[in-house]
Every structure is written in structure tokens, then in C-alpha cells.
Amino acid sequence: MGPEAVIEVAGLTRRFGSFTAVQQVSFSVRAGEIFGFLGANGAGKSTTIRILCGLLAPSEGHACVAGIDVARDPEAVKRSIGYMSQKFSLYLDLTAEENLEFFGGAYGLGRRALRQRGRELLARVGLRERSAEITGRLPGGMRQRLALAAAMLHRPRILFLDEPTSGVDPRARQSFWALIREAAREGVTVFVTTHAMDEAEFCDRIGLMADGRLRALDTPDGLKRSFLPGEMFHLELSPDRSIDALASQPGVLRIESAGAAYRLRVEAGRFDPEKLRALLGPAAVRVERVEPDLEDVFLEVVTQARGEAVP
């Protein structure tokens, strides 16, 4: 991808015994990008991250992070990146400040520099007032921000965040994402995994993993254009009514049920809400044109991947 790629992955594969967790994955990430790595549980996201952080050796293929071959010099990789693991490793019985001191010591930061940097980061992540509190007593969202601060102590230019917002409420997720964007504005490259599709919209580009393979890679809009051509409608039908009348219409590309409602995708220009209402008759409770979201893309990618899989 040219000189400014800070993560370059080619044919990356990782096996555990006879099981292949990551299979022939290739991509690159540019400096300053927020790169989202999406996929269901077990898709191979954490395994990929652990390889990129120098914590796990690849079985095959190559990965370069900050210009360093992860298989050749994993220790140098660890020094140049920040990593927030899925089960992040704060000490719950230490205070927020003590946690930063502990992790900073591991990075070889001097006592004075560490104090200063620790204070700066605690303020940045909104924990200045809570720095003397026992970490285990902080709410989940604050602990996650503290874990981010710990990953940023040594001013890494690349941050790997493995499901940093899992298990916290929407407000805490929002403030976490504000911190991610702030880091990216300063030129830090952020590689973040999530299975929250609304968060994925904040990423510059997204890689979609399914069953160990990278199934799609593009900007959020690019993914929508290539995987969901046409137009989408949201339909709600009265109970016990069938959507069959639509299924056989020319121009209908896909109907997905979403609870009591449906997502209908059609060729562009073929339908409008009036025409759909007429076709559905009294069954139609609500007919609305909608923009596809990444959840729709994810469903489509996974459906296509299943179709290609050898049974």
C-alpha cells in the first residue's frame, strides 16, 4: 500500500493443532487510520491481534508492524505498540494511579517521567479525580479508560484495542470512542476489534472476518455500495400476514426478517413506498425507505461466505 503503511499483513495463517483459526489473511493499515476489525465470536480477531502484537507466532505468512517483522523481533514490536487485551490486565486491588505506575515501570519509564505522564493520561481519560481509588471499585467504563491510558503510557504510534467497549453502557462507549478519535487525530494508528456494528461506522476502514478469513475490506460506505447494491426498505406487516406476495416480484433482491419486521433490498428505481403498499395491501403496517447499515452488510457477507463454504 506504499510507504505509509504501518501494518502490513500477507497470507497470515495461524493453526492450533489441526484447527485453523486465521487463514491466509492479507491487508495493510495506513498511519493515522482507525481500522475496525469485525466479526462474530471465534472469527479469529483476537488471534490476529495477538500475532500483530508479537504475542503469538504465525504458522504461515508475514506481518510487519511499525516496520518490524513480528516473527523476527516480537520484543521490538511490543515496545512500539500499545495493546489493550480483550480481558485487560489491570490489577483490581491497586489504585488507578498505581496501575499506571506498574505498567509504566514495565515499559522502562523513569519514575519522574512516569508520574508526569500518568497524571497527564489520567486527566485525558477523565480520571484525575479518581486516581486514588481502588481500580476494582471503579465502574466498568472508567476501568476501560484506565486500561487505555495504561496502553498509551509509552506514547506508542500504534494502538491495538481488542473489544475495548464490550460490556459497558452506550454513554461509556461514546466517551471511549471520543478518546480513540482524539488519538487518531494526533496521528496514532488505531486497530480496534468490535462486534458492535454502530461503532464500526466510526472507523475509516473495516475488515470483516468470518471463520478465520478476511471476507471484506473497505470503508463503511464502500462496503455498503459493494455488498448492498440497490435500495432498502424497512417493512412491518400486520400479524399473520405473509410477505410472499413480494418475494416473487421481479427486482426483489433479498428479504431478511428482523423480528416482526423485514429488511427488503430491491434493484434501484423499481419500487417506492406507494408501490410496496399497494403490493402488500392491508398487510402493510409500515413501509419506509432506509439507508443500509453495517449490520445489513455483515449479514450479507456472512450469508455469502456460507454459500461459498464447502459443506
Ligand X SMILES: Nc1ncnc2c1ncn2[C@@H]1O[C@H](COP(=O)(O)OP(=O)(O)O)[C@@H](O)[C@H]1O
Q: State the Cα–Cα distance between residues 147 and 79, nearest whole angstrom.
A: 17
Sheet holding 252-258, edge to edge: 252-258, 261-266, 231-237, 284-290
For 256, residues 6+ apart whose C-beta sits below 8 A from its C-beta are 262, 263, 296, 299
**Residue with Cβ nearer ligand X (45 or 78):** 45
Element (H, E) at 159: strand 158-162
Query: Which residue of 7, 9, 21, 109 would you call a contact of ligand X, by CB under 6 A?
Result: 21
Q: Is residue 45 part of the contact set for ligand X (CB under 6 A)? A: yes
Q: Which of 215, 212, 197 is nearest to 307 (CA)?
A: 215
Residue 266 beta carbon to Mg ion: minimum distance, rounded to whole angstroms: 36
**Residue with Cβ nearer Mg ion (46 or 194):** 46
Q: Is residue 47 part of the contact set for Mg ion (CB under 5 A)? A: no
Q: State the Cα–Cα distance between residues 1 and 209, nearest whole angstrom.
A: 20
Q: Is residue 210 part of the contact set for ligand X (CB under 6 A)? A: no
Q: Is residue 46 part of the contact set for Mg ion (CB under 5 A)? A: yes
Q: State the Cα–Cα distance between residues 152 and 157, nearest whole angstrom.
A: 9
Query: Which residue of 3, 41, 282, 311 would you call a contact of ligand X, by CB under 6 A?
Result: 41
**Residue with Cβ nearer Mg ion (43 or 63):** 43
Query: Which residue of 4, 16, 57, 73 would you call a contact of ligand X, by CB under 6 A?
Result: 16
Q: Is residue 39 part of the contact set for ligand X (CB under 6 A)? A: yes
Q: Which class for 5: exposed (0-12), middle (13-18), buried (19 or more C-beta within 10 A)?
A: middle
Total chain residues near Mg ion (CB under 5 A): 3
Query: Which residue of 1, 4, 42, 57 would you call a contact of ligand X, by CB under 6 A?
Result: 42
Sheet holding 189-194, edge to edge: 81-84, 158-162, 189-194, 34-38, 205-210, 213-218
User: Scanning residues 80 to 99, which ones bind Mg ion (CB under 5 A)?
Assistant: 86
Q: Residues of 237-267 as b/e, b for ≥16 C-beta within 10 angstroms?
A: beeeeeeeebeeeeebebbeeeeeebbbbbe
Residue 271 beta carbon to ligand X: minimum distance, rounded to whole angstroms: 37
**Residue with Cβ nearer ligand X (41 or 248):** 41
Residue 235 beta carbon to Mg ion: minimum distance, rounded to whole angstroms: 35
**Options 14-22, 173-181, 235-243, 288-296: segment touching ligand X (CB under 6 A):** 14-22
**Could you list the residues that contact ligand X (CB under 6 A)?**
16, 19, 21, 39, 41-47
**Could you list the residues that contact Mg ion (CB under 5 A)?**
45-46, 86
